[in-house]
Every structure is written in C-alpha cells, then in structure tokens.
Amino acid sequence: MSLTEQLLADMKEAMKQREAGKVRLSTIRMVRAAQKKAEIDKGREMTDEEMIDIINREVKKRQDALPDYEKANRPESVKQLHEEINILQGYLPEPLSTETISVLIKETIEELGANRPQDMGKVMKTVMPRLKGRADGKLVNQLVKEMLQ
C-alpha cells in the first residue's frame, strides 16, 4: 500500500472515530493538503519518496514551533504539537541508528577521498540522498564534521 493510500485509509478511520480521532484527522488533512498543493505545482502525483519529504517538512515545522509555544506558556498547544509530530512520524520510515549513519558516512568519505573539513559540502551532498527521510540532517552534519577533523 502506498503512503497516499495509507493516509486516505487512516483519514477515513479517523472520520469514523469522530472526537477520538480529531487530532489525527486534522493532521492527516493537513498532510493531504500539502500533497495536493505539491501535485498541482508539479502537475503529477507524488511518489512515496516525495510524500516522505512532505511529511518530514511538516514534522520540522512543528518541531520549530514548539519552543515558541513553550516560551509563550501554551501547554495545550505544545501538547497538540507533540501529538501531531507523533502521528506524522508514524508515516515515516524507521530512522537509522547513529552507528549505521556513521558507517555510511565513513564509506562515503573513503569513496570520495575526503580528508579535510573543506570537503564537508561534497560529503554531505553525496550522503544525504542515501539517508533521505531516515536521518536528521543536523545529526549527519555533526557526524561528518567530527569525522573530517
């Protein structure tokens, strides 16, 4: 089942649950709206990889908003954002372990012959597509930086 089909099935299930599925329903609708916008912009249906990018972008938006709501002392909004993040992460592939990411980075560094901090851009450009949707960019950046120093 594709990610789009899964979202549609989960949206129908959340609609049937009424109050119990309210946050889930609104979150799925938000993702589907982002999907529709992207499909209109590109003029074609989204692939699962592109859907993962959309979901990652929505998770990042919520994670970036969390500190602002915490500073403003809005616990109900913080709770809802956490719920939405958890719902969205359920559609993402399992994240890779730090060890697995490190091994992949080491392989890429050896493959490219990178050995100095100035090669970081070259390494990141090669390794990020391999880790797409399964690793946090900040963590990858930090690990690459450590390995090149």
Q: pLDDT band at 18, cuts 50/70/90?
A: confident
Dump pLDDT digits (tens) for 97-146. Answer: 999 999 999 999 999 888 888 989 999 999 998 887 788 888 999 999 99
Domains of the chain: 3-89 (1.10.1510.10), 98-148 (1.10.10.410)
Summarize the confidence of residues 74-86 as an average pLDDT: 95
Contacts 24+ apart (CB under 8 A), 56-64: 56/92, 56/133, 58/30, 58/31, 58/34, 58/88, 59/85, 59/88, 59/89, 59/92, 62/88
